[in-house]
Structure 1
């Protein structure tokens, strides 16, 4: 008897909808029916809608608090400024903790729905943002949803947002972990070309343990890993320029882990209070003389190079 998988077996598997990993999935009944005609129609809707998006980048983290949304914010801003002829979009899929509206300086913005779908909020002419935060009455409102409702919202975000032009990069900021949102996202993106994952971690072992699970998740669902970013690696004193470790690298940090797991290491990003202040205020730090921004710019160049190898 084959062992029961500890992850989604896939819609084409004979075990689809029938194993313990399928419990609680909103599509369990569809998968277990065995009917190819019962496949979620949203998959085709997403495939058609995102057909003109060149690169789909998933920003992932094994645990919360590692600066994933901050990195997504900087990634989008750097790409948009460095490539003025490219159209960049950020999709905030952290349903219960949307951070993009505040970080991008769009806290009081709202989206509007038309015949062509939801209109995202444009920060720059070539940089747009979509988040559930734009749909809430107040930034303090809690989103208290079960899996099926989250799944529906993710499908709508992927298939009903009118980005305006053909996108060069769609950057998807995901919640931490490997749960409902991630499975729904992978299911809807399945079959689309040029998808890659950027995984963000901090140096200490408690974070690296969870990132190993994120790497395992990507491999099991066949998402190419562009690389790992080590965030908050050091703190550089703005007065004396002396570097200090914020988190201990007792196990060698992210770079050593990447060598062990044969995953690309994209680089380390230092802590910078100036960038934190910009994120809180919703302003752009990328024109500042910040070691954090310099590190991110170098990492973005590597991400662009690796995107060109995606099939």
Structure 2
């Protein structure tokens, strides 16, 4: 999903349309120097290709070339991919999961539920609730998994879903109640999504933060981060730290380190799209800013 959002952000920045092709059959080609035996039944791999250009004539030529060489079909302008609904306009690109969200609410939402204004109450502190009433573990995990997939375009629920996902083993009524509140929030925000505007700005900018000993069970802190490419939000996360921080400065340092690691991991994906000088410029600035942040924590 991160790679898809990177491509969409780049397409919005450059102002070109993206198209989609369906690969009906894909085979690995190579020279075989000895006799081989393979099971061929059901050996079919189905996948899609996304491509685009500022010149739509080149896109048409590419599609014609691919359909002549391979068993593929042109699906037209990109508007649906991996449950992501994509709307391309001259001003930018809007991605959302309205269809998926409606199905999620229909399958798991309480009947006649009233939408909630927030995914989680600000004062709630979930714990194991060992004396609480047990609920269906399989159904609870199914709801959590479905909500996790919805976070592909909904960073507004990532923190709440992350907290609830910590109690998938032996869930209690209190945990299920917290999950149902998220669903009721989704019910009132079905059409929410991400807007990738067409702008001249295309710098890589990151933000990170951390609470301090926020978990009531093991007293570990939670790191949060987000990354913008220009004005397009492409990466976000909310994750409990692996170790117990002994100070707020240490918790912030761990969050900053995790943010930096995430950006370094994105460098390979960015290199597939952008030119090398632009990548070096973007990451040079990022390393300088994060280095200053980490130094300031201990000054």
Choose 1 or 2 for highest CA Rg. 2
TM interval, shorter chain, is under 0.3
**TM-score, normalization by structure 1:** 0.23
The structure, 1 or 2, with the larger RCO (C-alpha pairs under 8 Å, 6+ apart) is 1
Whose helix fraction is larger, Structure 1's or Structure 2's?
2
